[in-house]
């Protein structure tokens, strides 16, 4: 863990901090925008499950307002044309999620754990990771996006044992490890995710 602490602190105190601060400001701004923009970000997070963030960003830009009103069959066809791996299932999830679009603003007034639980229970296609991803991207700072890239980093530095399955209970345990680590580095969970992703990929995405 000491090596990772040093790396995180060096990144925080270097030129990367400006990039991360800018991204966090963008997340906060998005959280203050209208219902349609919130919903399009929700769709991005639905798409990124078992897919890449870069691919999700590319498709989000290509589809734009299509997330809001394209019929399921047309949406599925567009996802397929754009090279998406799961066009039928995710098109179905997105169309069904439209029922919740008007309620997303009220979700943002909840405590982070309550908001995440609401999303998991009410939006098909969102698990703990995807719900956390959405919340971070709309301005929540105290949730961790735990995927197997993050698990790999933590295991490599002896901070956790790799779980066979990332159950909700195990997710919360790993989130607490990350929360403790974030406190030692002096940053939020939302910021920490961006720094750890940079450690693994050399990129700051969303």
Residue 5 has what pLDDT? Answer: 87
Of 69, 92, 129, 142, the active-site residue reads 129
Confidence of residue 1 (pLDDT cuts 50, 70, 90): confident
- What confidence tens digit (pLDDT) does each residue in 11-20 have? 999 999 999 9
Residue 200 has what pLDDT? Answer: 85
Q: What is the CATH number of domain 33-137?
A: 1.10.340.30
Residue 102 has what pLDDT? Answer: 86
d(CA 32, CA 138): 8
Average pLDDT over every residue of 30-44: 95
- What confidence tens digit (pLDDT) does each residue in 125-158 have? 999 999 999 999 999 999 999 988 899 999 999 9
Of 2, 21, 72, 147, the active-site residue reads 147
d(CA 145, CA 122): 19
Determine contact, residues 199/153, Cβ cutoff 8 Å. yes
Tell me: pLDDT of 46 over 90: yes
- What confidence tens digit (pLDDT) does each residue in 54-96 have? 999 999 999 999 999 999 999 999 999 999 999 999 999 999 9
d(CA 69, CA 23): 28
Global pTM value: 0.95
Determine contact, residues 128/146, Cβ cutoff 8 Å. yes
Q: Backbone dihedral region of 139: left (phi > 0), alpha (psi from -120 to 50 degrees) or beta?
A: left
CATH architecture of 2-27+144-201: Orthogonal Bundle (1.10)
Domain segments of the chain: what residues?
Answer: 2-27+144-201, 33-137
Task: Indicate if 129 belongs to the active site.
Answer: yes
Task: Indicate if 193 belongs to the active site.
Answer: no
DSSP letters of 126-184?
--HHHHHHHHHHTT--S-----HHHHHHHHHTTSSPPPSS--HHHHHHHHHHHHHHHHH
Dihedral Cα 48, 50, 55, 57, nearest 10 deg: 10
- What confidence tens digit (pLDDT) does each residue in 103-124 have? 899 999 999 999 999 999 999 9
């Amino acid at each position: 863990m000491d090596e990772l602490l040093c790396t995180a602190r060096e990144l925080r105190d270097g030129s990367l901090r400006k990039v991360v601060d800018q991204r966090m400001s963008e997340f906060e701004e998005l959280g203050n925008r209208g219902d349609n923009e919130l919903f399009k970000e929700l769709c991005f997070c639905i798409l990124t499950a078992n897919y890449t963030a870069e691919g999700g960003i590319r498709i989000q830009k290509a589809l734009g307002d299509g997330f809001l009103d394209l019929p399921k069959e047309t949406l599925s066809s567009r996802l397929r044309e754009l090279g998406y791996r799961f066009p039928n299932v995710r098109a179905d999830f997105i169309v069904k999620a439209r029922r919740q679009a008007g309620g997303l603003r009220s979700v943002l007034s909840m405590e982070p754990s309550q908001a995440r639980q609401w999303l998991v229970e009410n939006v098909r296609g969102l698990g703990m990771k995807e719900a956390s991803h959405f919340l971070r991207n709309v301005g929540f700072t105290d949730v961790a996006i735990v995927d197997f890239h993050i698990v790999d980093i933590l295991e490599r530095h002896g901070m956790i044992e790799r779980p066979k399955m990332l159950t909700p209970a195990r997710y919360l345990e790993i989130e607490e490890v990350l929360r403790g680590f974030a406190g030692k580095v002096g940053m939020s969970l939302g910021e920490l995710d961006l720094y750890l992703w940079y450690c693994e990929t050399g990129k700051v995405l969303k």
